[in-house]
Each structure stands twice: as structure tokens, then as C-alpha cells.
Amino acid sequence: MKKVRKAVIPVAGLGTRFLPATKSMPKEMLPVVDRPVVQYAVDEAFEAGIEHIVFVTGRNKAVIEDYFDLHPELIGTLEQSGKTAQLQALESLLPVAGATSFIRQQSPQGLGHAVWCAREVIGDEPFALLLPDMVSFGGRGCLAEIADLYAQTGGNVIAVERCDPTETSKYGIVGCGADVGTGFEVTAMVEKPAPANAPSNYYINGRYILQPEIFSLLGNQQRGAGNEIQLTDAMVRLAQNQAFFAQPFNGCMFDCGSKEGFIQANVAFALSRDDMKEAVFDMLQEFVRTHERRVEAA
Ligand code: UTP
């Protein structure tokens, strides 16, 4: 079984759900507490053993490439002012030289098209895919969990979580087959089914390990929902010849591409940090306690 060494992180989408903030600022750079959303996906990937990350970028996204570069002026200023803790924290976040590639999607034609753009850099090996606006919280990190199942099964592995059964039409939903290790065999993948047609309430949460045969399928994939080239459509075709397994995630994923998910993530991460949890907890309690009074006064 080939090792998963590389990960694709697509960051070329327009982020229309988060307008107007995303008009000039990539949604992947919105901060959750004090780190941009994309940093969480990068940390998760390296912690799961990934050696090289391929970012698929587009226009207005140059700030992401700059963010993962060395910043000599900032380092000099922090050194001179003796801010060694901040300096060390910054340095620990920087990928080693040569561990990242940036390629252009040119125009956002859908997630499937973004993944296809990474084909030359990935080559003929399995790879991880992380949707960076889905921020993993709790557990060991979602990619590490699916990598464990992949080590047992090979093939293709996707992370899943349960959604409210009435809300299946918001997600890509999988059908559940036999249990395998800590996960199960996938019997179907359906994009945004109505609750009555959904094969389960397990939704695909934005972490994948895929075999390179997906690229040739994406290369001739017809446009699907939203007139975009959909990854799920190509995965359905790949599943005709290759096994797919699902690993239920033991933590939870916040959809930071939506305003509600972004706020949830900020609250959850703030409450998990020793340096701020007490202050944030007290602030939230006070906020809830006085909410009705403020609404009445408004
Ligand atoms: P989303 O569908 O959540 O991103 O794609 P979006 O299209 O930017 O968001 P909305 O729906 O308009 O608000 C998941 C990830 O795939 C990337 C996005 O940048 C995001 O990180 N993506 C999506 C691309 O790189 N290219 C695309 O054509 C579409």
C-alpha cells in the first residue's frame, strides 16, 4: 500500500456565503481566535504525517501564499523587542522550505475542478484532501483518524459525521455497508438528497484520502449541481471500480464557510484555550443573561 505523503488544500473558491467580508479577503484567512482558518487545516495535515501540501489558489488569494512565507521584517522587530515567545510561536507555524506548492485554478469551476488542477504535483500516488473552511475540533484531528482507517483498508477513505436527519439536503450523504475496522464500507454517495431519499444521515465532512485514478475521471467529468465540476460525481464513478470506506469522526467539524459555523468555531476554540477560557466563559454567561434586556432596549 502506498503511503499518503501529499495533501491538497483548495483555497480558490469565492466564498459567496461570507460576503461582503470575502469581497477582498479570502475566507480561508478569516481568523478563528488568532489563527487564520487555513492554518488549522495545515496543522492537521502535518500532524497526520503529511510531508507536502499543494494549495490550489486563484485571484485575490496571494495573501495566503504570503502568510506561509518567512517575514524577515517582523522577525527582526520581534527579536529587537525581546518578544521571544511570540517569535517562537510564529516560527513553529511555518512549514519547512519546500514543503508547500501553490498552483492556480484560474477560474473557480467547482471543487472537482480545483482538485484536478493538482494532478501534476500529486502524480501517481494516493493523497489527502482537506477542505480548509471545515475546521476540525477535538479528537486527534480528523485526517489522522481517516489515515488510521486507510492503513487498515487501503482504497479511498472519507470522514463522516451525523447530521440532523431533516437536514440531509445540505450535505453529501453516504450509504452505510458492513463495518470495517473503526469505520464502514460506503455503499452510496448522494449529493444533497431530500430526507426521504437519503441513504443515512452520515455526511461527508471535508476530509478525504483518494487514489490518483480520481484525476482521469475529474478530467472528463461533466458539470453537475450549480453548473460546477463536482468531486462527489467523480467519486461515485470511482466507486464503480474501487472501494470506499467511511470513518465517523470522533470530534466535530465547524463549517467556517458559513457565518454560524464560524461563530461556533470561535467560541469553541476560545473556550478550549487556557489563556482565555475563563474570561470568555464569563463574558458569554453575562451576554446571555442580559440579552433579553438589550433586545428590549434596542
Ligand atoms: P466551498 O463550496 O465551501 O467554497 O468549497 P466556496 O465556493 O468558496 O464557498 P461559497 O459556497 O461560495 O460560500 C470548499 C473549498 O473548496 C475551495 C474553496 O476555496 C473552499 O476552501 N474551492 C471551491 C476551490 O478551490 N475552487 C472552487 O472552484 C470551489
| CA 227 to ligand 1 center in whole angstroms | 14
Q: Which H or E run includes 37?
A: helix 37-47
* Count of CB atoms situated within 10 Å of the CB of 4: 22
Atom of ligand 1 nearest to the CA of 56: 25
| CA 16 to ligand 1 center in whole angstroms | 9
Residue 280 belongs to some domain of the structure: no
Atom of ligand 1 nearest to the CA of 206: 14
- Residue linked to cell 489522522: 144
Domain harbouring 109, CATH code: 3.90.550.10
Q: What is the mean pLDDT of residues 149-170?
A: 96
Instruction: List, for residues 62-118, the tens digit of each pLDDT value.
Output: 999 999 998 889 999 999 999 999 899 888 899 999 999 999 999 999 999 999 999
Atom of ligand 1 nearest to the CA of 132: 21
Phi and psi at 196, nearest 5°, equal -65, -25
pLDDT band, residue 167 (cuts 50/70/90): very high
Residue 45 belongs to some domain of the structure: yes
Q: Does the beta carbon of 237 sit less than 6 angstroms from any atom of ligand 1?
A: no
| CA 274 to ligand 1 center in whole angstroms | 33
71 vs 93: CA distance, rounded Å:
12
> Is the predicted pLDDT of residue 60 greater than 90, yes or no?
no
Instruction: List, for residues 39-58, the tens digit of each pLDDT value.
Output: 999 999 999 999 999 999 99
> Is the predicted pLDDT of residue 139 greater than 90, yes or no?
no
Residue 122 belongs to some domain of the structure: yes
Residue 142 belongs to some domain of the structure: yes
pLDDT band, residue 297 (cuts 50/70/90): confident
Residue 190 belongs to some domain of the structure: yes
74 vs 79: CA distance, rounded Å:
9
Q: What is the pLDDT of residue 292?
A: 81
Instruction: List, for residues 168-184, the tens digit of each pLDDT value.
Output: 999 999 999 999 999 99
Residue 278 belongs to some domain of the structure: no
Distances (CA, A) of 75 to 40, 84, 89, 123: 22, 10, 11, 36
Atom of ligand 1 nearest to the CA of 133: 21
298 vs 285: CA distance, rounded Å:
20
Atom of ligand 1 nearest to the CA of 258: 13
Q: Does the beta carbon of 26 sit less than 6 angstroms from any atom of ligand 1?
A: no
Residue nearest to ligand 1 atom 3, measured at CA: 257
> Is the predicted pLDDT of residue 291 greater than 90, yes or no?
no
Q: What is the mean pLDDT of residues 30-45?
A: 96
Q: What is the pLDDT of residue 294?
A: 79
Strands 183-191 and 127-130: unpaired
Number of domains forming the structure of the chain: 1
Q: What is the pLDDT of residue 13?
A: 93
Residue 79 belongs to some domain of the structure: yes
297 vs 169: CA distance, rounded Å:
38
> Is the predicted pLDDT of residue 298 greater than 80, yes or no?
no
- Which of 14, 19, 229 has most ligand 1 atoms within 8 Å of its beta carbon, as the pocket-test mutant? 14
> Is the predicted pLDDT of residue 6 greater than 80, yes or no?
yes
| CA 12 to ligand 1 center in whole angstroms | 6
| CA 189 to ligand 1 center in whole angstroms | 20
Residue 273 belongs to some domain of the structure: no
Residues 203, 190 contacting (CB under 8 angstroms) = no
Average pLDDT over all residues of the chain: 94
Q: What is the mean pLDDT of residues 185-194?
A: 93
Stated pTM of the model: 0.95
DSSP 86: H
Residues 217, 112 contacting (CB under 8 angstroms) = no
Domain range for residue 199? 6-257
- Residue linked to cell 478525504: 208
Q: What is the pLDDT of residue 226?
A: 85
| CA 55 to ligand 1 center in whole angstroms | 13
All cell numbers assigned to 24: 477582498
| CA 104 to ligand 1 center in whole angstroms | 14
Distances (CA, A) of 128 to 48, 131, 227, 259, 268: 10, 10, 25, 26, 26
* Count of CB atoms situated within 10 Å of the CB of 198: 23
148 vs 126: CA distance, rounded Å:
14
Instruction: List, for residues 223-259, the tens digit of each pLDDT value.
Output: 988 899 999 999 999 999 999 999 999 999 999 999 9
pLDDT band, residue 4 (cuts 50/70/90): very high
Q: Does the beta carbon of 256 sit less than 6 angstroms from any atom of ligand 1?
A: no
